Structure formats: structure tokens, C-alpha cells
Chains A and B, each alone.
Chain A
Amino acid sequence: MSPELAVLDWFFEPLQFAFMQRSLAVAIMVGIICSVVGSYLMVQRLALLGDAISHSVLPGLAIAFWLGVNIFVGAFIAGVISTVIIAWIHTRSPIKEDAAMGIVFSAFFALGITLITTIQKDNKIDLNHFLFGNILGVTAGDVRDTAIIAVLVLVAVALLYKELLFYSFDPLGAQASGLPVGLLNAGLMVLIALTVVASMKVVGVILVLSLLIAPGATAYLLVPRLHQVMLLGAAIGVFSSISGMYLSYYVNLPSGPAIVMVVSALFSLSFLLSPRYGVLVGPRRDRPWQKLRTLLLSKGSRP
């Protein structure tokens, strides 16, 4: 077999399996919406909120499973409730927002694990699948649900782009211009909760933070405008999802961690080599190794 054919074969072989087609489709959609929505978290310094929401979906998921309702719906409701409680604690008491997040998400997470462990005894439900993802168990129904969420999220971001840009850059200025910032913020929380819920099967609730933050952060080091961060971030997210899935298929790694390792590697490359901010390249004079070199040279030239 010629090398070209071998590469093609390598690429197409997994695709003959329906389960791989389904999981790739879901992974690609999740790679896109995580990067787009996560860009808002990154620019608002709310990365921890992504973590809080993702850990908080567990009890809703367990209760929904127990009631026989769609677990996406239960998880979404729990995620939204957690953001409401966080906002409530931090506006009604002197507790800072990050402390409020820490308290709420660990409480929800603990409750979720308790509920799932209890249910687990007499049901076919596996806690690990929610913690670390179970992309190979993606059903046709999951593909449909993820597609619905992805369309909702992307349409909302496209329609509200200019308002959300203003709000996330300068909330006071946006409010003073008459924009309903409370609604915009609530909308953003809903988008994040939807995105987290859609990502559960792919990476699990513990690692979803990486898919939310890392693609946007990688792109942020490379391009200067928010919509560019989102578009490039989405490309990075998709690339990571696909390569993670192939890694998982060929090297027999769990898919969630494989995707996260790819996206983290891409971030490291951008951090080291970005033309604008790269630690090893770029126009800055205050690069640590240059300082070191100057220091060494000046020491060396002394008698």
C-alpha cells in the first residue's frame, strides 16, 4: 500500500463504525460550542464559574435519571440553580464570588456523587461516565440533543454578539447605555450551562473546564478581537476533539483525557511560540531568557 493510501486508510478506518461516527459528530459540535462560550468566561475572568457549573450539574442529572426524565434537562436545571445560588450568596453577603463558587460547587458535587452512588446500586448507571465522559456510549438520541443545543447556543451568540461584547468588556458602561445587563448575564449563564450539559458525554464534568477555557486562551494569544478568538478557538476545539478521538481509538486511551491533552499541548505551543506574546519569540524585551542572557553576558564581561 502506498503511504498516501495508508494515511487515508488510517483516517477512514474508524469511520466505518457507527459508534465512531456518532462520537466524532458529538465531539466536533462540543469542540465548537465550548470554545465559543468559553471565550466569554475567559475574557470575564470567570474560568472558575465554568468549573462550578460543570460540577454542579451532577445532582440534577441523578434526579432526572431516577425520575426517568431526560438527564440533559435535569443537569441543565441544576447548573442554572447553582449559578443563581452563587450570585445570591455573593450579592447578599460579604463573601467573595470565588469563595461562593467554591462552596456551592463542592456542595452540589458531593450531593451529586451521593445520589448517583445510591442509584448506582440498583440501576445501570456509572458514576465514572459522568465524571470522565463516555463518548463511545453516545446514542443517536445524544447526537440529536447535542445538535439542538449546539444550534441554540451558536444562534444565540450570533444574535446577541454586539450586546454580549459590550457587556463582557464594560458591564457598567453597557448598563449605563440602557442595556439590560441582568438579562444578558442570565443569558450567558444559560448558554454556559447548556454547553456544559452537552459536553458531559464527551469529556465528563471534571475535564470540561479545559475545553471551555484552553481553546479560547490559545487563540487569545494569537489574534486580537473577540470574534476571531471564538472562530480560531472553535477550530482549535474541533481539531483537538478529532485528534483526541483518533488517539483514543488507536492508542486505546480514554477519549476525554486524550482530547484534553491535545488541547493543552496546543495551548503550550501558543504560549511558547505565539508571534504576539510567545515566551520564546515575539517582540517583547522582557522575555525571561533574554533577561537571563543579558545577566549572564554582563557578568561574563566583568574582569
Chain B
Amino acid sequence: MAPTPCITVDHLTVNYRDVQALRNIRLTVQPGKVVGIFGPNGAGKSTLIKAMLGLMPVVTGRVSYGEGTLARQLDRVAYVPQRSQIDWTFPATVWDVVMMGRVKKTGWFNRFSAVSRRLATEALERVGMLEFRDRPIGALSGGQQQRVFLARALAQQAEIFFFDEPFVGVDQKTEAVLFKIFQELAAAGSIVMVVNHDLGESITHFDQLILLNKELIAAGPRDRVLTRDNMTRAYGGHVGFFGHVA
């Protein structure tokens, strides 16, 4: 397989009607690193992902992946939305959700193949949820639900992974599983982008950071981004965290 190209975001501006959510974002995301997207509430983190994937209209800008537009190559992308976007009372089991990762690859009117079922089984195994495959998704803990969504993303066999706030409401064990798999995906040459806003200890798990507050504050290796100056510009004066700042 050819090595994964970079994602390039070029002068991206996004509005919600008259609210400007993102202004003139320029950045490059390399494969092989776990990239964290940080910023205060309402900074436009979720919007950045949605705009990159073409899930919402942009005012200006272009997001390219390799030769083409990223939004035209969605079969290479796995996206896990923010937990709050999902209706957890929906009548589906763990297995149903993981198999959703195989829908696009299976194609219209086709039934799931044995390969798809094997990939889904392996993905569940990898996140430690295989024994729950027949559970309704509503009967899981928050951490288990997040691991099921990770399994769905794995089953998609993507090159590019987007996770929106995967650590919200999850237990320690799930957090460890998620970070381990993010590292493995990156090590295998994938692009891994993770929205987060916990500035605690766990920030050391990210190789690269993107710091956002409507506009791009900084992007690059962790130590270069986490400066006092950048943090003040992103979060204002009131951040109690500077323990990991270089």
C-alpha cells in the first residue's frame, strides 16, 4: 500500500448563519502521529472536523487529501461523532452498530460478507467488547459505548480516523484502550485526529496538537504548542493548567 498522504486545510472559513465558527484555518495533518484538537467550549473543534469532511457547507477554503478533495474520499475516513449526538435508546445491539462500519464497503443491495463479519468480530475483540456483541447499546456504560464506536471505526478499515471527544464520560480502562489503539493506528501509518478538551495528564498521549479558538492559535509538536502565550490566547487568562507547558 502506498504511504498515506497528508491532509491539507487551506484558508478554511465556516459560518453558522451569522455566527462565524472558524476563520481562515490553515494547517497540515501528517500520518503516523496522534493529533489532538484542543480549545475551549465553542472553539469550533467539532465544526473543524465536520467542515473537513464536507458534512457542512464552508464559506471559503479547501481541504485536500493527496491529489483530491477529502470530502470526495470519504470511503477512506472513519468518523466517531460526539456522544451527545447519538440516541442511546435506539433499538440496536453492539453487533448492529459495529456492522454499520461495513455498510458503505458492502455496497447497495448486498448482504454483509463473511469478511465483514470477521472484521467486525476482530474489531470487537480488539476493544475488549466481543462478549457484549448481543447487548442493546443502551445497556452499556459510557466507556463501553465509546469502545463499540471505536470498534465500528476499526471495522471500516479507514486510513483517516476522526474522533470527537471520545473521552467524555468514559472510565480509566476505556481511556487506556482508546489511547493504545490510537497509537497503534498512528504507528501503522494512519491519520488520527482526536478532539479533546482535557488539559490534564492525558495530554502527553498526543504527539501533535492543534490549538483552536475560532482561529488557529498554534499547531505542531506538543511542546511547541503548549506555551503559556498560546494557552492564554486560546483559553483566556483563566486556565489552571501549566504543569505540562514546556
Interface residues of A (CB under 8 A from B): 43, 45, 94, 159-160, 162-163, 165-166, 168-170, 172-179, 220, 223-226, 228-229
In the bound complex, residues from chain A placing their C-beta under 8 Å from that of B78 are 176-177
Main SS at interface, chain B:
mixed
Q: In the bound complex, do residue A177 and residue B104 qualify as a contact, i.e. CB atoms below 8 Å apart?
A: yes
**Residues B87 and A43 in contact, CB atoms below 8 Å apart:** yes
Contacts of B92 in A (CB 8 A): 165, 169, 224-226
Contact of B96 among A165, A176, A177 (CB under 8 A): A165
**CA of A161 to CA of B40 in the docked complex: distance in angstroms?**
39
Q: How far is the CB of A279 from chain B (nearest CB, A)?
A: 16
The contact string, 1 if C-beta is below 8 Å from chain A, for chain B 63-78, is 0000000000011011
Chain A residue numbers with a CB within 8 Å of B87 are 43, 45, 169
The minimal Cβ–Cβ distance linking A240 to chain B, given in whole angstroms, is 20
Given A169-B92, A174-B103, A176-B162, output 10 extra A-B contacts at Cβ < 8 Å: A43-B90, A159-B108, A162-B103, A169-B100, A170-B86, A176-B74, A176-B79, A177-B79, A224-B136, A228-B91
- How far apart are the CA atoms of A168 and B90 in the complex, in Å? 9
Chain B hits for A172, CB < 8 A: 50, 55, 79, 81, 85
The distance from the CB of B187 to the nearest CB of chain A, in whole angstroms, is 24
User: In whole angstroms, what is the CA distance A165 to B75 when docked?
Assistant: 18
- Are A162 and B106 in contact (CB-based, < 8 A)? yes
Residues of B within 8 A of A (CB): 17, 50, 53, 55, 74-75, 77-81, 85-87, 90-93, 96-97, 99-101, 103-104, 106, 108-109, 112, 136, 152, 156, 162
Once the chains bind, are B104 and A178 in contact (CB under 8 Å)?
Answer: yes
Residues of the B chain whose Cβ atoms lie less than 8 Å from the Cβ of A160: 108
Q: Counting chain A CB atoms within 10 Å of each CB, which of B74, B75, B104, B156 scores highest?
A: B104
Most chain A CB within a 10 A radius of its CB, from B77, B86, B103, B152: B103
Q: Rank and list the top 3 A-B pairs by shortest CB-CB distance, nearest first.
A: A178-B74, A176-B79, A224-B136
Chain B proximity of A164: nearest CB distance (Å): 10
Q: Are B81 and A173 in contact (CB under 8 A)?
A: yes
CA distance A185 to B61 in the complex (A): 28
* Smallest Cβ-Cβ distance to B81: which chain A residue: A172
Cα separation A166 to B103 with both chains bound (whole Å):
8
Establish whether residues B79 and A173, one from each chain, have CB atoms under 8 Å apart when the complex forms: yes
Contact A225 B96 (CB under 8 A): yes
Cβ contact within 8 Å between B91 and A223: yes
A94: nearest chain-B partner, CB-CB? B17
Residue ID in chain A nearest B110 by CB atoms: A162
Which B residues lie within 8 Å of A162 (CB)? 99-100, 103, 106, 112
Query: When chains A and B are docked, how far (Å) is the Cα of A160 from the Cα of B109?
Result: 7
Complex Cα spacing A162 to B55, Å: 21
Give which listed residue, A43, A159, A166, A170, contacts B91 with CB less than 8 A.
Answer: A43
With a cutoff of 8 Å between Cβ atoms, the chain A residues found around residue B106 in the complex are 162
Residues of chain B contacted by A159 (CB below 8 angstroms)? 108-109
**A225 vs B93: C-alpha distance when bound (angstroms):** 6
Q: Report whether B103 and A179 are in contact in the complex, using a CB–CB cutoff of 8 Å.
A: yes
29 A-B contacts (beta carbon < 8 Å)? A43-B90, A43-B91, A159-B108, A162-B99, A162-B103, A162-B106, A168-B90, A169-B86, A169-B97, A170-B100, A172-B79, A172-B85, A173-B79, A173-B80, A173-B81, A173-B100, A174-B103, A175-B53, A176-B55, A176-B79, A177-B75, A177-B100, A178-B75, A220-B91, A224-B91, A224-B93, A225-B96, A226-B91, A228-B91
Q: Which residues of B contact A224 (CB under 8 A)?
A: 91-93, 136
Residues of B close to A223: CB separation below 8 A: 91
Q: Which residues of A contact B77 (CB under 8 A)?
A: 176-178
Q: Which residues of A contact B90 (CB under 8 A)?
A: 43, 168-169, 226
Other-chain residue from B81, B93, B99, B156 in contact with A170 (beta carbon distance below 8 A): B81
Using Cβ atoms and an 8 Å threshold, which residues of chain B touch A225?
Answer: 91-93, 96, 136
| Nearest-CB residue, chain A, relative to B153 | A173
- A165 CB, min distance to chain B CBs, angstroms: 7
Give Cα A225 to B92, complex, Å: 5
> How many Å from the CB of A163 to the closest CB on chain B?
6
Taking CB atoms, residues of chain B closer than 8 Å to A220 are 91
Residue of A nearest to B134 (CB): A224
Q: Which residues of A contact B96 (CB under 8 A)?
A: 165, 225-226
